[in-house]
Structure 1
């Protein structure tokens, strides 16, 4: 496995990305892929004039065995030590962090039901691709895959951080977003924004081969599981425009209305949702039934499920299942610990820290219950 370093050359609103160097002599590498948030990386490498000239902030880091994930160098730290040698610590996040540089402005209104894929792609286009001064040079729309992105919604949003807002919707519907490099016809690259969905590989389905991590198969080295219901919120009271008893309001929950000890209520202040919209340059009122749907959509974003987390260490060199060939971050798998009689038939792999150092390669996944 080799590290690739790409140079970004800006000329106004034009960006040229080209391969600068390839490196295979690093001391350690952490490659942290996350499904519902921006991933990160860290490279620990000898400090010398050549590496100092290669690993610079603003450049892009990739791997020759990973065509989906690329990071941008955000910090470079030099540590000198007469006994142990001089080292660079190079850190950054994956390219989705570029969207963190934009907010949603002006107000983005979706008053007629649209697919989530269209909503998110439109928001990225309006705030990071289309407007000249706000463009992220070199960024374009890529592919959409997964049925979760076909779900529809209405909404109104303004001034939210674009990256955080995108991941909020990813977590809501079970999809993910990513920015990767794609080679142009020459020796340059462009950035594309993709939407996708993980695959169910658990024992609860029969369309895909089952992926089972178990102490019985010697591919589950350690296991922990935690559940916390203290932050649960499953019933929302949403209040929009107006004052006192005239204030427009509604409620929202998923499925049947919870009751008694299973009911966890939440107040949502949605005064920022305007009762008007622009139609062909003319300001018109939003019909009340559509405004109520906007309130419900805001309420759905604020509900909080019980918090569960499962952390494990799995066998990195297992020939039974190979990471990024047989299963990927975002997939649903099965995890069991037969010695304690615990089984999670369908649990999502939401993060994977891949580590390389003098001790070899290790995989530390993070799972979350469906």
Structure 2
């Protein structure tokens, strides 16, 4: 597997991308794909005048076997040592990090599908925003029912990258920016259910009984849970607009964990009815709900004959994990991150899982 290094030049509303070098002699590579946040990478390579000239900040690092994820170099660290040798550490994040350079300005009130809301935010701040444009940026493909659900919300001054991934966490989708020739495409998508809870797709089961679960740890904590929101909007005293929000059936008694959400600064515009304004407040309430904290760490077989990463399953998919020895079963758990590591010991996979409701 080779690394491809590209230069990235901006020319008004367009970009120019050209291949500068191909590298296959690095000491180690970490390729961290995340579902609910921007992924990152690290290249550790012997330092030489040639490598220092190749790996420059602002350049793009791509893998010859990955057409979806492209990193942009953000940090370089050069260390020289007479005994151990000279090494260069190259780090950065994937191209979605470019959205971190913009905020949502001015206030946007949006009503429609989540796909339409994202399109509106990106259009006004990134795509059709004059000098605020990200050159070559446009919407790509959209996949997943979660992006067709509807909402009404008001957003202003949020960092676009943080807002987008916060929205993703709320609806269970994800976003990725990829390089497509001389263009940057923002894709919206969702994971595929491959757990034992469904029969449409082949089941993916990681288990000590199948020798594809090398290690396993699990912890759960209810203390951080918030499942019922009281949301107060604009106005003063008893005249403040207010509503409540919960997901599904309203929790009661010991199962109820309440949170207060202050949306005093969310103004009700003249063309927004009271009912529509309450829907905006409900959307804010949804963002403040917190599921019970769980931690599940596992190491899975990188070269399993049963399932191959990025062929049989992908980051964002729902799978099944079990530790049969201790009788622990997570029948539907989401793979929200995967760190691929390449070094002198070969390739390893370190997944991150998140339990679903």
Which category describes the TM-score, using the shorter chain as reference length? over 0.9
Q: What secondary structure sits across from 2:75 in the alignment?
A: strand
Instruction: Give distance in 1, aligned partners of 2:99 and 2:268.
Output: 28
The count of aligned residue pairs is: 356
Over aligned residues, Cα RMSD in angstroms?
1.0
Instruction: Give distance in 2, aligned partners of 1:199 and 1:286.
Output: 36
For 1:209-268, what per-residue CA distance to the aligned partner results, in whole angstroms no more than 9, with x for missing partners? 111111111110000111111111111111111111111111111122212111111111
Residue 148 of structure 2: aligned partner = 150
Residue 285 of structure 2: aligned partner = 299
Residue 250 of structure 1: aligned partner = 243
Query: Is 2:233 the partner of 1:240?
Result: yes
Query: Is 2:319 the partner of 1:333?
Result: yes
Deviates more, 1:240-249 or 1:69-78: 240-249
Residue 275 of structure 2: aligned partner = 289
Instruction: Give distance in 2, aligned partners of 1:337 and 1:286.
Output: 52
1:60-139 equivalences in 2 (<5 Å): 60-110=60-110, 112=111, 114-139=112-137
Q: Conserved in 1, the CA contact under 8 Å of 2:11 and 2:135?
A: no
Q: Which runs of 5+ in 2 are unaligned?
A: none
Deviates more, 1:26-35 or 1:293-302: 293-302
Cα offset, 1:333, TM superposition: 0.6
Instruction: Give distance in 2, aligned partners of 1:275 and 1:338.
Output: 54
User: What TM-score results when the alignment is normalised by the length of structure 2?
Assistant: 0.98
Q: What secondary structure sits across from 1:18 in the alignment?
A: strand
Instruction: Give distance in 1, aligned partners of 2:28 and 2:326.
Output: 35
Instruction: Give distance in 2, aligned partners of 1:96 and 1:234.
Output: 30
Q: What secondary structure sits across from 1:222 in the alignment?
A: strand
**How has the CA–CA distance of structure 1 residues 118 and 285 changed in structure 2, closer, same or farther, with 3 Å as cutoff?**
closer
Instruction: Give distance in 2, aligned partners of 1:43 and 1:173.
Output: 33
Residue 259 of structure 1: aligned partner = 252
Deviates more, 1:223-232 or 1:25-34: 223-232
Cα offset, 1:285, TM superposition: 4.3
Residue 297 of structure 2: aligned partner = 311
Q: Which runs of 5+ in 1 are unaligned?
A: 184-188, 277-283
Instruction: Give distance in 2, aligned partners of 1:130 and 1:157.
Output: 18
Residue 350 of structure 1: aligned partner = 336
Instruction: Give distance in 1, aligned partners of 2:249 and 2:343.
Output: 51
Cα offset, 1:139, TM superposition: 1.1
Q: Conserved in 1, the CA contact under 8 Å of 2:14 and 2:183?
A: no
Cα offset, 1:121, TM superposition: 1.8
Q: What secondary structure sits across from 1:167 in the alignment?
A: helix
Residue 324 of structure 1: aligned partner = 310
